[in-house]
Amino acid sequence: MPDKITIEDLIGLVRNYNPKTNEALIRQAYAYGAQMHDGQFRHSGEPYFTHPVAVAAILTQQRLDDATIITALLHDTIEDTKSTYSEVTELFGAEIAELVDGVTKLTNLQLSSSETKQAENFRKLFMAMSKDLRVILVKLADRLHNMRTIKSMRPDKQTQKAHETMDIFAPLAGRMGMQWMRDELEDLAFSVLNPEARNSIMRRFISLQKESGDVIKKITDDIRFIMRRDRIEAEVYGRAKKPYSIWRKMEEKEQGFSRLSDIYGFRVITNNEPDCYRVLGTIHRRWSAVPGRFKDYISQPKSNGYRSIQTTVSGRDGKRVEVQIRTQQMHDVAESGVAAHWSYRDGVRSENPFAVDPAKWVSGLTERLDSAGDHDEFLEHVKLEMYSDQVFCFTPKGEVVKLPRGATPLDFAYAIHTRIGDSCVGAKIDGIRVPLWTRIRNGQSVIIMTAEGQRPQATWIDIAVTGRAKSAIRRSLRSEDRERFIKLGRELTRVAFEHISKKVTDKALGTAAKHMGLSSIDELWARIGSAELNAHNVIEVLYPELSAETGNEIEPTHAIVGLEQGQTFERAACCQPVPGERIVGISYRGKGVIIHTIDCPVLSDFEDQTGRWVDLNWHSGKHSAGHTVTLKITISNDAGVLGRICTLIGELKANIADLKFLDRKPDFYLLMIEVDLRDVEHLHNIMTALEADSDVATMERFRDPARKP
């Protein structure tokens, strides 16, 4: 696409998919926009109108209708020029004026502001979506072009826009089915927020290409060969995944680049649906399928219309590759998502049977959001909905239940009925008893066991994934355990105030409650006790100058709040919890309480002994670096590497408590390093820095369920 897009260029892009376009109206909009923005310039020094034109060009890639293209050309006129709503209506009609006005209102929303205001603005965003989804399509294209040209902005503005893009616009694009846009938005934001990590991945890619040649071409040729052999007509495309996508998988799987498998993706486009399954059979006969990595979204489409067969196989040289198989119509929806409803092909609105009706899609997305009781719950609902990817599971009667990826039996129980969730005491998946924090996979059958008198536990908040389950659990905890939460919240607040040498008064707490939008001091204490708020939040409201630096560091022996007087505690050696992680205590006679992370597999041994579970929190404030965590790391056996790794850990203000070699080979060392840390953020910073080092092959946090306290 040329740097400067002329009106002829733009008309050409539209005519490629819509020869019957209203060329005169697009020319009129181009001329009007150029006139209105005359004399305005971007941060880069370019004429401002180059931006609306670039946004319109992006939307032509999705073959959108004339009204959307013209809206893109005019989307900043009402906001930034002397143009008015009535003038746009007179010149271009009511439909386009409404769309331009909708984009203008979205531009004025501060989506990265404070939580309460952010929640209210999200409501407005979803209201705009419910009126006409094309408003969001223009806004997403607007954000994409701004991110492509972000380097001309001030550094602080770059960071703000990148965070907003990563948190809101990228997941929204993904939720709407425009995965290509989500990938690019995330990667552009990643290059601003963590350029060193991105550069590290790019260097690894270059190194990999030097070692193994053009893997994409080799595997693409392999797939084409077996398609020809089995006489299947299909197009085959290959690509390397975006650096941020690779980075996210490294973080999720806690694996180094060298151990990460599916960094390449391949797409097979067939002529019809039966051929999709023929291609699948051909590929599985040629290469070994990776267990648990097969998804059939053709028979079970996503809510945004996405249909595709996805499988991962061990391809050439044992490298894992992900393959997507779909028809051209399915591909159009996969590329455009909900926007496929407005797509044109050969001058007529594309009658794609897989395109989702935008009105129904928005209705399905927002109906679950309307029930959210307060700002925090609404925000949680929205973010979970935008990030979710679906898993399909079954009731004992064979009914399908749709849940987001990562959902647990608790989410399943609450999806059926709040009463089932509240009284849940256990679950079976495919006939086998499993802990409540087990992640449900596609196609599994789930049975929920209930008991009269059972009520939700506080630890369920961290086990549940869906907004519906979390809201129901909080609602029950608030009503049934309110007094307990108030008591715990009062104690947490007292300790936090003592830590900054301030006296707790009703006046101070009343002021904090008012500023935080809460109805009473009891409500404030209840929120703190239920872990929805932190006592440190109260300090931040009343004494902002003291909240950042509270003086003395908290020693590990005083790190836990919620123990009974005289009760002792130890950190579990199996999971080595650190401040910032959600925790639970298990009480022992003569040993006090052993602290575990909420996801520690050892907790399954105590599933039927809930009387021994103790609700605990980390002390609010700055902790000292006295919490030991074990890292398992593989490094190159070269001169100076080990010394550099140890120096790097020291530079990050962490102490090496112990170092053991597990294996020594001519080309690498495998070792365990015990590091004393402050909190989970400190741990993340150290792991990120080590992972980015070119001589670190693998690195993970070592946890051993067999370790005893």
Between CA 397 and CA 678 the distance in angstroms is 50
Q: Determine whether 425 is exposed, middle or buried from the number of CB atoms within 10 Å of its CB (0-12, 13-18, 19+).
A: middle
Residue matched to tokens 């020693």: 555
Pick the catalytic residue: 80, 87, 251, 700?
80
Report helix, strand or coil for 520: coil
Beta bridge partners of 162: none
**Max CA pair span of the chain:** 85
Pick the catalytic residue: 9, 23, 46, 79?
79
Beta bridge partners of 269: 235, 326
Name which of 165, 190, 285 is nearest 241 in CA terms.
190
Report helix, strand or coil for 295: strand
Question: Residue 603: CB partners within 8 Å, gap ≥ 6?
Answer: 435, 584, 586, 596
Question: Residue 363: CB partners within 8 Å, gap ≥ 6?
Answer: 130
377 tagged catalytic: no
Number of H helices and E strands in the chain, helices first, is: 30, 23
Question: Residue 317: CB partners within 8 Å, gap ≥ 6?
Answer: 212
Between CA 690 and CA 191 the distance in angstroms is 19
H or E element, residue 54:
helix 50-60
629-645: b (≥16 Cβ within 10 Å) or e? bbbbbbbeeeeebbeeb
**Angle at 621 (CA atoms; ends 616, 623), nearest 5 degrees:** 85
Name which of 380, 430, 384 is nearest 409 in CA terms.
430
And the tokens for 86?
Answer: 């009535």
Integer CA distances (angstroms), 579 to 457, 534, 575, 680, in order: 22, 13, 13, 6
Report helix, strand or coil for 420: helix
Between CA 86 and CA 88 the distance in angstroms is 6
Between CA 493 and CA 509 the distance in angstroms is 9
Integer CA distances (angstroms), 462 to 427, 467, 531, 532, 620, in order: 17, 12, 10, 11, 19
Q: Determine whether 112 is exposed, middle or buried from the number of CB atoms within 10 Å of its CB (0-12, 13-18, 19+).
A: middle
H or E element, residue 266:
strand 264-270
Question: Residue 41: CB partners within 8 Å, gap ≥ 6?
Answer: 47, 48
Between CA 33 and CA 78 the distance in angstroms is 10
Between CA 376 and CA 396 the distance in angstroms is 34
The answer to whether 640 touches 569, Cβ cutoff 8 Å, is no
Question: Residue 93: CB partners within 8 Å, gap ≥ 6?
Answer: none
80 tagged catalytic: yes
H or E element, residue 316:
none
Pairing between strand 390-394 and 348-349? unpaired
Pairing between strand 627-636 and 696-701? antiparallel
Which are the catalytic amino acids?
Answer: 79-80
